C-alpha cells in the first residue's frame, strides 16, 4: 500500500552556527534544545571535533544532534526534529501568508 503525506504547514529553521539568542523563539524556549556549551548541564557529553558548532534537541526518539546546515522542524504537537537540508528541500517549500490562509 502507498501513502501520501498530508499537507501540513510546519515551522522550520536552518542552523548556520548562530548563537542561541539568534534562534527562533519557538526553539529558544524549547526545554530540550541546547547549544554545545550547555551539554554538560543537559547530562549529555560529546567531543567537538575541530571546534565545529552544533546543537542538540530532544525528540520523542531521544537526543539528536543538529549540525550546521541542518534544519530544525517544530512538529504539530510542539516536538522538535532535526532534518538534513537535502531531505528538507525535497519535502518542504516556503509558505507565503496568502497560501497559508
pLDDT for 53-93, tens place per residue? 888 888 888 888 889 999 999 988 888 899 999 999 999 99
Better-scored residue on pLDDT, 53 or 35 = 53
- Residue 84 maps to a domain: yes
The pTM of the whole model exceeds 0.85 = no
- Residue 1 maps to a domain: no
- Residue 24 maps to a domain: yes
Range of the structural domain that residue 29 is part of: 11-93
- Residue 6 maps to a domain: no
Q: How many structural domains are present in the chain?
A: 1
- Residue 4 maps to a domain: no
Contacting residues for 73 by C-beta, under 8 A, at least 6 apart: 10, 11, 12, 80, 81, 82, 83, 88
- Residue 99 maps to a domain: no
How many C-alpha atoms does 70 have within 13 Å on its Cβ side?
A: 17
Amino acid at each position: 500500500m502507498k501513502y501520501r503525506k498530508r499537507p501540513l504547514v510546519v515551522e522550520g529553521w536552518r542552523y548556520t552556527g548562530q548563537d542561541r539568542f539568534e534562534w527562533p523563539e519557538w526553539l529558544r524556549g524549547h526545554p530540550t534544545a541546547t547549544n554545545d556549551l550547555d551539554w554538560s548541564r543537559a547530562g549529555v557529553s560529546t567531543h567537538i571535533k575541530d571546534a565545529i558548532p552544533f546543537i542538540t534537541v530532544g525528540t520523542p526518539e531521544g537526543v539528536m544532534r543538529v549540525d550546521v546546515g541542518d534544519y530544525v522542524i517544530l512538529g504539530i504537537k510542539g516536538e522538535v526534529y532535526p532534518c538534513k537540508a537535502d531531505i528538507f528541500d525535497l519535502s518542504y517549500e516556503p509558505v507565503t501568508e496568502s497560501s497559508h490562509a
